[in-house]
Amino acid sequence: MRRWILIGLLGLGALTSCSVKEDRSDCPCWLTVEAESTATLTGWYGSQRIFDGHKGGFVDRMVPRGDVAIISSRGEFTVKEGSQMDELFAELLHVDTDGEKAFAKVQLKKQFATVTLDFKELEDGRTDYDIIVKGNIQGADSKTLEPKEGPFKCIPETAPERGYQFRVPRQKDNSLTAELWSEDALVDTIPVGELIAKARFDWKRESLGDIHIMADLPAKTFTITVMEWEGPVTFEITI
């Protein structure tokens, strides 16, 4: 009986490992991935998802040899209808798994920008108009982190100090606008995306910064301030 058990175990081992004497180029690679404990990890080998939604920030497993794409994330990729972008932190990392072992450490990057809209002529920076923010990007692709096209529409929330705030996903065009409404009539439209572009905001940075727009509607001028994520003001322009 013991002999048969031993033969069975040896047969099972042949399915999951390679002999030292044989060509090991087709053998799987042992991949170890580390990330923040709050992160969720997903792995892709081409179009094949090899692990999905792995929580806890740690993966230790065999994967095919070649190139494995790791997505580490915390937060929602797609904006819910009528909502702001979630506070999504994520990173895409390509890992070379051609060897017998591979290691990767993934760090979460900020995938959203907080826009503050402040009306200069008003004491608290807030207007009596109803504000609706619209755009053409509704989140990030869960495999590539590229901007995901789709309708975006939200109502800004009151900022802690002055004006309003709203979160937007990483953009690839200048479609963002803030519409000002009064009694079901459109009064004015602020070209938020165009203003951000003129301020040289970089939507391709690993961690997105934030934007402050001071609107002087009577004078039709805007002061746009770009701030690095957890860093200083980097650019300011009045248009």
CA 41 to chain centre: 14
Task: For 20-76, write each residue's pLDDT tens digit.
Answer: 445 556 789 999 999 999 999 999 999 999 999 888 888 999 999 999 999 999 999
Task: In whole angstroms, give the CA distance from residue 61 to residue 192.
Answer: 46
* DSSP helix/strand/coil, 201: coil
pLDDT at residue number 53 = 86
Residue 222 and residue 191 in contact, taking contact as beta carbons nearer than 8 Å:
no
Number of H helices, E strands in the chain: 2, 18
What does pLDDT average to over the chain? 88
Structure pTM?
0.85
Distance between CA 104 and CA 98 in Å, rounded?
14
Q: Which two tokens stand for residue 194?
A: 């165009």
The pLDDT tens digits for 166-219 are 999 999 999 999 999 999 999 999 999 999 999 989 999 999 999 999 999 898
Furthest-apart CA pair in the chain: how many Å? 92
